[in-house]
Amino acid sequence: MPLINDGGTLPRKKKQTLFVIFTGSKKQEEAGTRYIANDGSTTTSKSVAARFWTFWGAKEFAEMNRIALNAYTYIDREVFTEFDTQG
């Protein structure tokens, strides 16, 4: 489950690496990164992206929301700052 839904909070670190579901070409990551949000929609806002402690948590979320993982929709790690995680 996404961190926002399970009540989990980030430890008090300046940066935290978490798993997210990206959508779009890996070559376009720098120019226009797109994420899957908690409601299953796409977003360009890093702070709205569904975040997971584990790869398996992200995979379970994708399965539950019928998100097909492939070359264009994939799970990877992303670095979040404390600012990124403030709602």
Q: Which domain holds residue 24?
A: 15-81
pLDDT over 90, % of the chain:
56
Q: For all residues of the chain together, what is the average pLDDT?
A: 83
Q: Please count the structural domains in the chain.
A: 1
Determine, yes or no, domain membership for 36. Answer: yes
Mean predicted confidence (pLDDT) in 15-38? 83
Interatomic CA distance for residues 30 and 35, integer angstroms: 13
For residue 27, pLDDT beyond 50: yes
Mean pLDDT value of segment 49-70: 96
74 within 8 A of 21, measured Cβ to Cβ? yes
Can you give the pTM of this predicted structure?
A: 0.79
Alpha carbon distance 23, 70 (integer Å): 9
